[in-house]
Amino acid sequence: MTRPLDLAGPSAQRLPRPAPWRKHVWPLLCIAPFFVLFLVFGVYPVVFSLILSFQDWNGAPGQQQWVGLRNYAELSGDRYFWSSLLNSALIFVLHYPVMTLGGLILAVILNENRLRFQGLWRALIFLPHLTSMVAAGITFRLLLEKDSGLVNRALGSLGLPAVPWLDNEWWARVAVGLLLVWAWTGYQMVIFLSALQTIPSEVNEAAVIDGATRTQLFWKVTVPLMRPALIFVTTLSVIGTFALYTEPQVLTAGGPIHSTTTPTMEIYARAFGNVRYGYGAALSYVYFAVVVVATAVQLRLTREEKR
């Protein structure tokens, strides 16, 4: 009996076959830095703050004390924290309709092909969004001063009484709303403008042929077709209003009488002002849960309206 002829030779038989996982080594090494950074700066702070919310800690090493649910029980009766949530809701109600309607109307105007210098107008309207909120807040504070502000001087020249913009609880919320409208209307205008440009021109032409006026065209055709963009900006506005910090801090410092204090300002004051990191972490998680519930309710309502 003869042995089969080995055409590959003895050297080929000694070469080991590479393991299947080895071909994935370099791709995994290339994407590993992202996951390492995500674990260090994303996952670890969330887990650490969750554990911290069940502790009492003043920042000193080794001074953490496990207190269970005591922080959460304490915040249930913290009227300053709950009033900060109410302040955010009131500021949202005061500024959101003006900001959204203004952004939508500006987008419709700037979408007209007959308008000259469209790029210039769009840039000018969007410019406040790029401005530093610290500088804008200081400017608004000077403008809205009761005795020396230019706004009250202009009202006085018209025979109107001076408005206590920064000294009255409700007028202070209005002042924060005005700053938000000035800063964010251009941003919403850009979103609406991009959504408008996805609407086929044949839709508007068909409505005009059917006899629709410009007002009917806006409310009966444009606004319903802008529904996804409206839901998007509403969701962003809800989250952004509850997360306000710079604008009310610079303009009113949370006053008068805590009327413009927002949840993030309250959390910062408790955690870093009172040096109670555990209690601040508990406030953060309750604040996060409230924002999630508010956003979910809003999305649920908009879906029901769609049906």
Dihedral of the CA atoms 253, 254, 260, 262 (nearest 10)? Answer: 110
Closest CA to 51 of 67, 75, 74: 67
Query: Going from the N-terminus, what domains does the chain have, and what CATH number goes with each?
Result: 73-302 (1.10.3720.10)
At 202 the pLDDT is: 86
pLDDT number for residue 9 = 54
DSSP character at residue 5: P
- Greatest Cα-to-Cα distance within the chain, rounded to the nearest angstrom: 121
- Locate 175 and state its tokens: 């002042």
Q: Which residues in the chain show pLDDT less than 50? A: 1
**Alpha carbon distance 123, 140 (integer Å):** 21
In this predicted structure, what is the pLDDT of residue 203?
A: 86
pLDDT at position 146: 87
Given this model, what pLDDT does residue 16 score? 67
122 closest CA partner among 133, 98, 136, 106: 106
State the CB neighbour count (10 A cutoff) for residue 229: 20
Stated pTM of the model:
0.84
For residue 304, the model assigns a pLDDT of 61
Q: How far is residue 217's CA from residue 205's CA, in Å, rounded to a whole number?
A: 10
Q: What angle do CA 49, 54, 56 make, to 5 degrees?
A: 95
Question: Helices (H) and strands (E) in the chain — how many of each?
Answer: 16, 2
Question: pLDDT at position 1, please?
Answer: 47
Backbone angles phi, psi at 133, to 5 degrees: -70, -25
